[in-house]
Amino acid sequence: MEAKTLNRESWLSAAFSALAEGGVEQVRVEVLAKRLKVTKGSFYWHFRDRMELVEAMLEGWKVGRIEAIKMQTRLDGWAPADRLRDVLSLYGGTSNPRGMAIELAMRDWARRDPRAAEIVAEVDRERLRCVSDLFAGMGLTADEAFARAYLFYSFIFGEGLLARSAAPDRFEKARDICGRVLVPGDAEG
């Protein structure tokens, strides 16, 4: 019961899937077309060229991620530490593998494309600011809060990079301990 005519969103969605699976290099017009069961004639109706697609991806990802982090760190009467634990569990481990794949692909992309680098930089700034504020809300100084946020995000993305081969319970336990180190506090017995 899918819509019988595609639009920009259809192509963007397919593009993000390709990005997650194979990096920017794999978001190719004819490949996406095949996956959408149309020809590229459709693509070049909705987009001027491939560059317009990838720039739409950058912009869409940016606003989506910034909106998400603002939601996730807004404390409506919650304790900062609890919010931090929430964010950690949202990105951590094997939950939301697609989201993590896109994150990593985005960052690999940023390593060689200045436009992507600028987008990732903006998102990172916002994220560091948000969780830095949470740490500051726990009584840390500005410098310490920023350092904690830096450690926090480095761990999250680095974890997605580390090979998770065999012994899953071992990693499970490790992540548990890491969580307690990253966001101090007595909770979470």
Which residues bind to DNA, rule: CB under 7 A?
Answer: 5-7, 28-31, 33, 37-42, 44-46, 48-51
Residue 67 CB coordination number (10 Å)? 11
Ranges assigned E (strand) in the chain: none
Q: Is 154 in the site for a copy of itself (CB under 8 A)?
A: yes
Structure letter (DSSP) for residue 23: -
> Closest distance between DNA and the C-beta of residue 10, in Å?
7
Q: Which stretch binds a copy of itself (CB under 8 A): 8-16, 45-53, 65-73, 166-174?
A: 166-174
1 binds, among DNA, a copy of itself, none (CB under 5 to 8 A by kind): none
Is residue 78 helix, strand or coil?
coil
4 vs 111, beta carbon nearer a copy of itself: 111
Interface residue with a copy of itself, options 104, 129, 133, 136 (CB under 8 A):
104
CB of 14 to a copy of itself, least distance (A): 17
Burial of 19 (0-12, 13-18, 19+ CB in 10 A): buried
Q: Encode 53-77 in three state secondary structure.
A: HHHHHHHHHHHHHHHHHHHHCCCCC
> Other CB atoms closer than 10 Å to residue 143's CB: what's the count?
9
Residue span 114-143 as binding mask against a copy of itself, x where in contact by CB under 8 A, dash where not: ---xx-xx-xxx-----------------x
Angle at which helix 142-161 crosses helix 114-137, to 10 degrees, equals: 130
Count the neighbouring beta carbons within 10 Å of the beta carbon of residue 159.
Answer: 18
By C-beta, is 4 or 111 nearer to DNA? 4
> Which residues are near a copy of itself by CB under 8 A?
21-23, 25, 101, 104-105, 107-108, 110-112, 117-118, 120-121, 123-125, 143-144, 146-148, 150-151, 153-159, 161-163, 165, 170-171, 173-178, 181-182
